[in-house]
Chains A and B, each alone.
Chain A
């Protein structure tokens, strides 16, 4: 059972918008920045969003992040088949003194 809760899967049609939620507590999301990662099968995770809503260089603005209270959300607009991947949220948990990740969400672009 992950400390951060994500839906196991989401799906949407090409061109549409999808959101992936990440729910935590005051010990983690509520008091720390949230990051988001994209992972394709057999490859390393890639940082998509850091500090709740910032994109590293090279990440298109189709990807966005937000945080409210103890929850965070990843948004992807203009869905492409190439966006099919697993997405993870992560942050620091002050009570555990540990980095915690969500269980991951598999995105299917129908």
Chain B
């Protein structure tokens, strides 16, 4: 079964740090772009960051640039989100998600336009 399981959420003070983890199983993790998407309480979805298969290319939403780092360990089938200098507005459920490539005639491209597998989410609360 294809599965993503997040962990590492919790309560942290403003200015603090937290590291989220996402354990992948049931698919060849090293062949997929992976992403983090968050959802503040009562709000909509907000993409946070994405990372290429070998970690050489990364993208971040402007609001977390310089504060968050995305990384992966393909040997451990794991995705990470290191969150530093946390703010109250970072409070959200953080989802790990698998990017869906577009494949035609045996060739695939990555448009970063769809996520086909999601974890259950982990809650991060930034409050004093």
Contacts and interface: CB of A to CB of B under 8 A. Distances in A.
Contact of B116 (A50, A98, A100, A101): A50
Contact of B118 (A32, A45, A56, A101): A45
A102 B95 contact: no
B47 A98 contact: yes
Interface string A90-104: 111000111111111
Interface of A: 2, 32-35, 37, 39, 43-47, 50-51, 56, 86, 88, 90-92, 96-104
A50 B114 contact: yes
Interface of B: 35, 37, 44-47, 50, 59, 61-62, 95, 100, 102, 111-116, 118-121
Q: Looking at chain A's contact residues, is the secondary structure mostly helix, strand, loop, or mixed? A: strand
A33 B113 contact: yes
A37 B61 CA distance: 20
Contacts of A100: 47
B89 to A, nearest CB: 15
B44 A91 contact: no
Contacts of A47: 100, 114-116
